[in-house]
């Protein structure tokens, strides 16, 4: 890089940086993390724990989750009970360490959950903003699209889509982006409809603000909590959907997820052999992560609709 541009970049850096921090702070403030709601706090703590487990998975997991393990006597370490031969949660019938799979499963769960939630919230919010603010033909077309999305049964749609694409955990995210923006979109739209008639929006329009500025500067910050409410529900949906798809056998066989573990257990007759240690832990993990999202969304609901608290 030529030194000239480097200095100009450096010179403008602080002010840009301040603007960035200022913008970030505004976003954080308008998100209104529901910190005083005990359930929401439990949800946030659950997320933090799973987040740390996912980040430090290779330090926490004692084995490679796909490795077929042998005992010191070179016997296949299959169907070990929890605690036996030092396997915390036992092993699968192919001799893989269940605890390690569980730890690595948190990675794909969080990856899918967070990306899907972000995609759903962003698409839904933008559709709602445009539809509600501009109205007219654009609104009509977007809302007819939402009608169609409501007419498509979600899980069957993901199955059909997953069957035609390369097996990948991103299929679920893609399908959610195509279908599940509908709920966020409709709710945001109705909120925008009421916001755009408020006096301060009127004032901004009269003083010559562009449409873009009104939408993103004056209206969008007020609907961010709503987007986050739907986003935190979408995390749960994404994880549940991925689990269902993996369980039905349309998941990515290369990626260890909790849904994959459950499918493996089901197909390996773990139910009839009573191998509870195999199929209970992944289910409990799914429930914990999904319910954490629900708890946080409830915290948002109480901020958004204080009447519910009564």
Summarize as ranges the residues that interact with another protein (CB under 8 A). Answer: 39, 144, 147-148, 150-157, 159-161, 163-164, 236, 240, 243-244, 247-250, 259, 262, 265-266, 270-272, 274, 276, 279-280, 282-283, 286-287, 290-291, 294-295, 298, 308, 310
The least CB distance from residue 164 to another protein, in Å, is 4
* C-alpha–C-alpha distance, residues 193 and 181, integer Å: 18
Q: Which residues fall within 8 angstroms of residue 68, CB to CB, at 6 or more apart? A: 76, 94, 95, 96
Q: What sign does the dihedral 240-245-249-253 (CA atoms) show?
A: negative
* C-alpha–C-alpha distance, residues 257 and 72, integer Å: 28
Buried b (16+ CB within 10 A) or exposed e, 174-185: bbbbbbbbbbbb
- Of the pair 21, 138, the CB lying nearest another protein is at 138
The least CB distance from residue 205 to another protein, in Å, is 26
* C-alpha–C-alpha distance, residues 240 and 251, integer Å: 13
- Of the pair 77, 146, the CB lying nearest another protein is at 146
The least CB distance from residue 48 to another protein, in Å, is 18
- Of the pair 57, 146, the CB lying nearest another protein is at 146
The single residue listed with the structure tokens 């986050």 is 228
Tokens of 160: 């059909």
The least CB distance from residue 270 to another protein, in Å, is 8
- Of the pair 223, 233, the CB lying nearest another protein is at 233
* C-alpha–C-alpha distance, residues 309 and 38, integer Å: 13
The least CB distance from residue 235 to another protein, in Å, is 11
- Of the pair 200, 276, the CB lying nearest another protein is at 276
- Of the pair 203, 284, the CB lying nearest another protein is at 284
The least CB distance from residue 234 to another protein, in Å, is 13
- Of the pair 224, 297, the CB lying nearest another protein is at 297
**Could you tell me how far CA 191 lies from the centroid of its own chain?**
23
Q: What sign does the dihedral 186-189-195-197 (CA atoms) show?
A: negative
The least CB distance from residue 97 to another protein, in Å, is 21
* C-alpha–C-alpha distance, residues 170 and 250, integer Å: 12
Q: What sign does the dihedral 123-125-129-135 (CA atoms) show?
A: positive
């Amino acid at each position: 890089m030529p030194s000239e541009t480097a200095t100009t970049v450096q010179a403008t850096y602080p002010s840009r940086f301040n603007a960035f921090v200022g913008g970030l702070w505004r976003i954080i403030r308008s998100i209104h993390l529901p910190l005083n709601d005990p359930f929401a706090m439990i949800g946030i703590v659950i997320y933090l724990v799973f987040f740390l487990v996912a980040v430090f998975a290779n330090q926490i997991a004692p084995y490679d989750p796909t490795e077929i393990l042998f005992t010191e006597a070179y016997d296949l370490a299959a169907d070990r009970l929890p605690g036996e031969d030092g396997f915390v949660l036992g092993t699968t019938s192919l001799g893989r360490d269940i605890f390690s799979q569980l730890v690595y499963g948190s990675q794909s769960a969080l990856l899918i959950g967070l990306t899907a939630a972000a995609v759903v919230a962003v698409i839904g919010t933008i559709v709602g903003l445009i539809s509600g603010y501009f109205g007219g033909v654009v609104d009509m077309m977007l809302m007819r699209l939402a009608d169609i999305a409501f007419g498509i049964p979600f899980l069957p749609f993901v199955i059909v889509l997953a069957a035609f694409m390369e097996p990948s955990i991103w299929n679920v995210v893609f399908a959610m982006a195509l279908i599940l923006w509908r709920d966020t979109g409709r709710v945001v739209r109705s909120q925008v409809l009421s916001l755009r008639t408020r006096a301060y929006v009127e004032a901004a329009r009269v003083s010559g603000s562009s449409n873009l500025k009104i939408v993103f500067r004056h209206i969008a910050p007020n609907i961010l909590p709503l987007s986050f409410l739907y986003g935190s529900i979408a995390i749960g949906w994404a994880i549940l959907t991925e689990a269902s798809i993996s369980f039905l056998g349309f998941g990515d066989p290369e990626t260890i997820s909790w849904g994959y573990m459950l499918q493996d257990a089901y197909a390996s007759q773990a139910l009839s052999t009573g191998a509870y240690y195999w199929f209970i832990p992944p289910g409990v993990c799914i429930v914990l992560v999904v319910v954490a999202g629900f708890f946080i969304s409830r915290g948002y609901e109480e901020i958004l609709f204080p009447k519910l608290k009564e």
